[in-house]
Amino acid sequence: MRVVLSWLRDYVEVTDNPDTLAEQLPMLGLGVDAVERLADGDAIFDLEIASNRPDLLSLIGIAREYAAWRRREVHLPNDAVAEVDPPAATVTAVEIADSVLCPRYVAHVMTGAAIAPSPAWLTARLEASGIRPTNAVVDATNYVMLEWGQPLHAFDLDTLAERRIVVRRAAAGERLVTLDGVARDLDSDALVVADARRPIALAGIMGGAETEIGAATRAILLEAASFAPASVRRTSRRLGLRTEASTRFERGIDPEGTLRAARRAARLITELVGGVVLRAPVDAYPTPSARPVITLRMARVERLLGVRVPDDEAIAILSRLGLHVRRDHDVLRVTPPVGRRDLEREEDLIEEVARHFGYDRIPEAMPVEVMAQGRRAARLEMESAARDALVRAGLTEALTVSLVNQALLARLDPGGEHARPETVWLENPLTTDHTQLRPILLPSLLDAVRVNVNRRRDAVHLFEIGRTFARRPDGSIAERCHLAIAMRGRWLQGAWDQPDEVEEVTFYHLKGVLEALVAELRAGPLVSQGPGTRWLHSGRGGHMTIGGKAAGHLGELAPTVAARFDLPGRTYVAELDLEVVLDRAVLQPQYAGLPRHPAVRRDVAVVAPVDLPHAAIEASIRDGVGELLEAVELFDVYAGPPLDAGMRNLAYALTLRASDRTLTGDEVDVIIRRVHTTLSARLPVTIRA
């Protein structure tokens, strides 16, 4: 913001010379980018204003800061305006269609104006501030905007259809020619000020050419409003149109200050072009905002600053800044002034006290606090343990972008499994490659594998742990933590003690990695069985369960899918809902003493159909033995004569142990008979003697 020193002196006594003032302003949080010295001794300061201080985008806001610092008075401009009958509501009306996007809209009506150029003093101040003068009415609105920080706009009342104002969203296909002569296409996200037929201004950004003030104007509708910062920012960015008004609205305008600025502008306009102001301006304010009352504890001030600030001095500082302070025993009840929307909590007030008390008065000292060792949340610890386990298993972690597009997802699943209503699409994507949040990790990870293969990396073993997103039926977004793995090529590459014919990655390498992960996290046994999903090989894939709960899929990537990712040969992949694992994980190891009684080993062999999963047989064995089962291991699989076609023999070694006694032969025989009975009753198997 450009500040003219002589103009600032209208509101506060400034005795410092420009160079000294430039050195002191940063103490108030005002960055001085440049100082321009004028021939008449005046100066122009180019100030950098923090985004959370919209009140400093005004000369009066800067004057208040300077006055509080130097303990001086602020002289506010006269905003008293003479009004005449009839009331403005008899001439115009204001309708706000969305009070969230426009909390308040004030409309003054002036008649009998004679449009003329601005006087020299006004044009000089505007030009020094970087604003091109137009005519006395428009220049007066710009003058008050720089003075109070409240943008205003003047319409030729006679050009408004039905002489009324409607603040609404634009309709799709509507067009507005703005004051710069550019025809702009609007969408439903744009907030506009309209009359009874058409848009007449981009709310908070720029007015329209059809209703601008001209030489023939006699009746004026003066607008002072508050518009939602996000709405103005979004429309300004989409249209590539940034103005002095939009800069202020994007940072937030306090609706409580609109009427005050409107009165000041109405007075200035009548002084410049004559005419009268109709009584009782139309003030559409559907939901008046209450001024917040913030509690300030002086003990908290001392604790944060490390220095005792006398109560009276803190009260004086806040009062000079325009805050209303009421002492209530050991605390202060503070009400921020109009325009200070950045003051929301106790820490904000402590910052104000510190700035004006003086940072140089705060001594250097080590903080005296009870220090607690920081640590990550348990869930993050579990994720970190999962990463460590996968790295120890020989995999490399990959990080991909959480934004994808439909084309990438279709390469994994051309049937559109992930093009569902629960897909989370971006409303304003920056590129065509990033149009939605990823519902699954594998497409991005396979694309990373493709890049490695194209660069002649034969062995690629990658994993990624990241968030996936899906929209719930109620419209909210669900996030899940997933694990994706992709493995291909040689398992041990370049090992000096291995033969040239090093083994290639197989399905069992992938399964072994997942089983090692689950064992590391003590999350219970992982069970894998067919069928898989359609992006896996029809005969070499399956789904996973942990503790009986579906957890994901693993297997060989279908050849057609591998071709779409330009991956020759075999690639083994898995996508696991890691939260299913983490919900059962136990990071703290449980220790037990060494067994005091011997174990007993017995073998159980069954003849089963080849399509009966091993996991189903193992589960039945575990149920049949019960708590005395220490381990069960599949040690032999045979298919061929004399077995019938489609049958196979599976042999299991059972380790039985009791913690309080040595099992007798009779007890073991009873357990084995119970296992045989359970297997025969549940599954289509034959027990081998």
Question: Which domain CATH number covers 671?
Answer: 3.30.70.380
What local confidence, expressed as pLDDT, does residue 365 receive? 77
What local confidence, expressed as pLDDT, does residue 417 receive? 53
Cα R_g (the chain), whole angstroms = 38
User: Among candidates 553, 591, 581, which has minimal Cα distance to 385?
Assistant: 581
d(C-alpha 479, C-alpha 469), whole Å: 5
Q: Which residues pair with 403 in a beta bridge?
A: 437
Does residue 260 sit in the same domain as residue 316? no
pTM above threshold 0.75: no
- Residue span of the structural domain in which 258 resides: 83-284
How far CA 415 is from CA of 335, 403, 470, 557, 577, in Å, comes to 60, 20, 18, 16, 22
Q: Where among 43, 70, 97 does a domain terminate?
A: 70
What local confidence, expressed as pLDDT, does residue 614 receive? 85
Angle between the N-to-C axes of helices 311-320 and 59-70, in degrees from 0 to 180, rounded to the nearest 10: 150
Report angle CA 650, 652, 657 to the nearest 5 degrees.
165
pLDDT band at residue 499 using 50, 70 and 90 as cut-offs: low
What's the CATH number where 159 sits?
3.50.40.10
d(C-alpha 439, C-alpha 417), whole Å: 10
What local confidence, expressed as pLDDT, does residue 421 receive? 67
What's the CATH number where 35 sits?
3.30.56.10
- 625 assigned to some structural domain: yes
pLDDT band at residue 416 using 50, 70 and 90 as cut-offs: low
Does residue 62 sit in the same domain as residue 158? no
User: Among candidates 526, 584, 591, 590, which has minimal Cα distance to 379?
Assistant: 584
pLDDT band at residue 446 using 50, 70 and 90 as cut-offs: very high
Does residue 232 sit in the same domain as residue 268? yes
Question: What is the sign, positive or negative, of the torsion defined by CA atoms of 583, 585, 586, 591?
Answer: positive
The rounded mean pLDDT for the chain is 90
What is the tens place of the pLDDT at every residue in 602-645? 999 999 998 888 888 988 999 999 889 999 999 999 998 988 88
d(C-alpha 244, C-alpha 130), whole Å: 10
What local confidence, expressed as pLDDT, does residue 368 receive? 67
The residue-averaged pLDDT of 64-74 equals 88
Contacts of 680 (CB under 8 A, 6+ apart): 687
Contacts of 610 (CB under 8 A, 6+ apart): 639, 646, 647, 648
CA distance between the termini of the chain: 93
What local confidence, expressed as pLDDT, does residue 498 receive? 61
- 90 assigned to some structural domain: yes
pLDDT at 361 over 60: yes
Amino acid at 208: G
More confident residue, 358 or 146: 146
Does residue 241 sit in the same domain as residue 305? no
Does residue 129 sit in the same domain as residue 236? yes
Least confident of 356-365, 434-443, 652-661: 356-365
- 326 assigned to some structural domain: yes
User: Among candidates 27, 65, 58, 60, which has minimal Cα distance to 321?
Assistant: 65
Does residue 429 sit in the same domain as residue 551? yes
Amino acid at 289: S
Q: Is 84 left (phi over 0), alpha (psi -120 to 50) or beta?
A: beta
What is the tens place of the pLDDT at every residue in 297-345? 999 998 888 889 999 999 999 998 889 999 988 899 999 988 888 899 9
What local confidence, expressed as pLDDT, does residue 533 receive? 84
d(C-alpha 208, C-alpha 161), whole Å: 14
Does residue 563 sit in the same domain as residue 436? yes
The residue-averaged pLDDT of 221-235 equals 95
Sheet holding 331-335, edge to edge: 294-297, 331-335, 324-328
pLDDT band at residue 177 using 50, 70 and 90 as cut-offs: very high
Phi, psi of 59 (to 5 degrees): -65, -35
Least confident of 34-38, 417-421, 525-529, 537-541: 417-421
What is the tens place of the pLDDT at every residue in 198-220? 999 999 999 999 999 999 999 99
Angle between the N-to-C axes of helices 311-320 and 346-357, in degrees from 0 to 180, rounded to the nearest 10: 100
pLDDT at 493 over 70: no
Phi, psi of 128 (to 5 degrees): -65, -25
Phi, psi of 9 (to 5 degrees): -70, -10
Residues shown for the chain: 689
Does residue 386 sit in the same domain as residue 526? yes
Q: Calculate what percentage of the chain has a pLDDT beyond 90.
A: 60
What DSSP letter does each residue of 69-104 carry, written as one string?
A: HHT----PPP----EEEEEGGGT-EEEES-TTT-SE
pLDDT at 70 over 80: yes
What local confidence, expressed as pLDDT, does residue 37 receive? 86
What local confidence, expressed as pLDDT, does residue 367 receive? 66
The residue-averaged pLDDT of 520-526 equals 82
Does residue 661 sit in the same domain as residue 521? no
d(C-alpha 636, C-alpha 323), whole Å: 84
- 594 assigned to some structural domain: no
How far CA 227 is from CA of 101, 148, 185, 204, in Å, comes to 6, 16, 20, 6
The residue-averaged pLDDT of 497-516 equals 80
| Structural domain count of the chain | 5
The residue-averaged pLDDT of 559-570 equals 91
pLDDT at 73 over 70: yes
What is the tens place of the pLDDT at every residue in 365-379? 776 667 777 788 888
Does residue 474 sit in the same domain as residue 544? yes
pLDDT at 426 over 70: yes
Does residue 258 sit in the same domain as residue 148? yes
The residue-averaged pLDDT of 170-188 equals 92
Does residue 399 sit in the same domain as residue 496? yes
Least confident of 38-42, 139-143, 391-395: 38-42
More confident residue, 381 or 160: 160
- 248 assigned to some structural domain: yes
- 590 assigned to some structural domain: no
- 183 assigned to some structural domain: yes
- 646 assigned to some structural domain: yes
Q: Where among 555, 582, 609 does a domain terminate?
A: 582
